Structure 1
């Protein structure tokens, strides 16, 4: 992988975030605009990235095996990150009552909003497909391990599985089903999904830029001391652990690169929404997301360089 391509992609992402911050000056992020952005990204752009990737990749038995492997690796990496966050929170922030939030913020990455568009830009349709499958593994982790940790009674209810039934997941299932039976849609549909897929990265970065401008200084000062553990684990320790783990296996190069890049992603954007739903600290979730995204613009190229030393 060309390091200059990674740097250029991160630079473009940075510029998009800045544009989002500028937009927030005239149109501040409120509940209505927040819902609109999330709906456009999650329900339109991301499913189209998934479908576009599937339409442009030749499916065979070997490819389906790789897809299953990526899904399993995703869940393993997510759980390892959560465990690392839990351990470090208990070691360095013993008096904190935010251990469960810290653990989840340490393991769950922004593999959808940033990861899928970035892998599509760096690795093409195959990388985008693997990235989408990795993101599906993150969703499974969120609505199983994550929900159990956030609930006070710590019980898993089958109704939480309903939250996993969403449009991106449906796009994966429908796309893979069509690919398995070698069903190709008309060219006009392929062209439409290609164009709508291009909306994912700009919309996601605009949203993050607007989130940055919406943070209150008092909340930032109060919550920053509790964010260094999840940010350190998510951006540095978990990617390094993943590099060493993946290096032990002889996997396909694109698969390895996709899994490693996804492990480097900053904290999940929807953390604040998830925490609000289960009466956790949503402000800490939002702040960690923003800070880790900004720092990720520096750490991702560095981690990609470290990755290249092991792969090449």
Structure 2
């Protein structure tokens, strides 16, 4: 309950300060820089070395890539038909293709499915969503940002993306036995700044007064992220023979609200920030309702 309260309070605090306190103009970009370049890599470095994979987790991890690929294909098709800008297509791909499987996902899964479910949620998050963010997110952000970039430039941005570098280092460290306790504790403290600052940053930019042309992508994005893609993950999992708690956690992770880091990435690359941030804010609020409802429908 404390974790839920923290999420809502930080989101509300950012919104109230933006509305009534007149914060510095560069506050949100400065916070976002810290989150992408310091706090997010610290979380990867802190959590990934602890993971241990086995065969029953294959669909759990693969389903997170399915979500991202499905979003990319869908919005490329829909965006072309609706004459959206490339920036809008990129924003929808990032924000609906990547779920908030850690900051909101961890406390929600623990509350709904206990410690055993939480352990699987960490696997899905670190092995699935973080990799999709580091690799797929970097490619989408670069290619849809409106800049003329070559394949070499996109590859360079992906390889130099802080979360991707941290992921590679973390896998090596995990193979060598993990971090020394002191360094592990320091990384955990830095990573702990991610949740409150990220939601505060979202609150700073949270707006519900969208233009008429923005209502359609927001509504479609929410329907895809909270309703359609969890159903797809569930159906495909049943067809492929996935069962039990791993399938349940795969669906719950797919049903999570949009990822905060994805919205920050969209903002940094100027990929329709109003749509990205509104999708994130509304999706976060609705996720506290839709995820428990999905849980009731699962074994």
Q: Which residue of 2 aligns with 1:296?
A: 287
How much has 1:232 moved relative to structure 2? 0.8
Q: Identify if the C-alpha distance between structure 1 residues 237 and 71 changes in structure 2 by more than 3 Å, giving closer, same or farther.
A: same
| Cα deviation code 1:206-245 (max 9, x no counterpart) | 1111111xx484x445522442112211111111111222
Q: How many residues are treated as equivalent by the alignment?
A: 287
Q: Is the 8 A contact 1:111 1:134 kept in 2?
A: no
Give how far 1:29 is off: 6.5
> CA 1:184–1:274 in 2, change beyond 3 Å: closer, same or farther?
closer
Q: Distance in 2 between matches of 1:244 and 1:104?
A: 27
**Which of 54, 64, 75 is matched with 1:74 structurally?**
64
| 1:240-265 residue CA offsets vs partner (Å, 9 max, x unmatched) | 11122223445586654553333223
The alignment partner of 1:79 has SS state of: helix
2:155 to 161, 164, 168: 161
> Superposition RMSD on alpha carbons, in Å?
3.6
**Relative to structure 1, is the Cα distance of residues 290 and 179 closer, same or farther in structure 2, using a 3 angstrom cutoff?**
same
CA distance in 2: counterparts of 1:220 and 1:294, whole angstroms: 21
Contiguous gaps of at least 5 residues in structure 1: none
Moved more, 241-250 or 189-198: 241-250
Contact preservation (8 Å) 1:47, 1:168: yes
1:53 paired residue number: 47
Secondary structure at the counterpart of residue 104 of structure 2 = helix
SS of residue matched to 2:100: helix
> 2 CA distance for matches of 1:134 and 1:29?
36
Instruction: Please tell me whether residue 140 in structure 1 is matched to residue 135 in structure 2.
Output: yes
Inter-partner Cα distance in structure 1 for 2:65 and 2:98: 15
